[in-house]
Amino acid sequence: MIKIKVKKGVPQHMEANDNRTFDEWFYAVDHLLQYNLGISTDDLPDCPYSQWYADRLRPIRAANKALTYAQK
């Protein structure tokens, strides 16, 4: 399974003081995919990004969830 490597100890959720907008958060998810794998969110199946943002998932965790969705 393809995944972006996450440093040990990185929590699942964003810090309480992380006040990114959805667009800023989504850009971070897309950037992680492009930088690490050369693909974008447009290359993956539709995912519940807005729900993951509402759940305050870190962008790297959302990117890896999107990759998991694509490999099902």
12-57 pLDDT, tens digit each: 999 999 999 999 999 999 999 999 999 999 999 999 999 999 999 9
* Helix, coil or strand: residue 13: strand
pTM across the whole model = 0.94
What pLDDT sits at residue 72?
Answer: 80
Above 80 in pLDDT, residue 1?
Answer: no
Q: What is the rounded CA–CA span in Å between residue 47 and residue 57?
A: 13
* Helix, coil or strand: residue 64: helix
Check: CB of residue 30 under 8 Å from CB of residue 5. no
